[in-house]
Amino acid sequence: MRPAFPNTENALEDAAALFRAARRAVVLTGAGISTPSGIPDFRSEGTGLWSRDEPMEVASLSTFRTHPERFFQWFRPLAGQIFNAQPNAAHLALAQLEQAGMMHAIITQNIDMLHQKAGSRHVIEMHGTLQTLSCTRCYRKFETAEYVRQFIEEGALPVCPHCGGILKPDVILFGEQLPQSAWFEAQKEARTCDLMVVAGSSLEVLPVAGLPMQAVDRGAHLVVINNSPTYINVRADVVIMDDVASILPEIAKRALHG
Residues 6+ apart with CB under 8 A from 169: 75, 111, 128, 130, 132, 133, 144
Nearest to 89 by CA among 35, 41, 47: 35
In the β-sheet with 128-135, what is the strand arrangement from edge to edge? Answer: 141-143, 128-135, 167-171
Q: In the sheet where 238-240 sits, what is the strand order?
A: 123-125, 105-108, 25-29, 195-199, 221-225, 238-240
Amino acid at 171: V
Amino acid occupying residue 82: I
CB 197 within 8 A of CB 239: no
CA gap 38, 86 in Å, rounded: 9
The residue ranges of DSSP E strands in 57-199, in sequence order, are 105-108, 123-125, 128-135, 141-143, 167-171, 195-199
CB atoms within 10 A of CB 159: 14
Catalytic residue among 91, 127, 162, 221: 127
Query: Active site includes 221?
Result: no
User: Omega before 207 cis (within 30°)?
Assistant: yes
Of 195, 208, 205, the closest CA to residue 238 belongs to 195
Query: Catalytic positions, please?
Result: 127
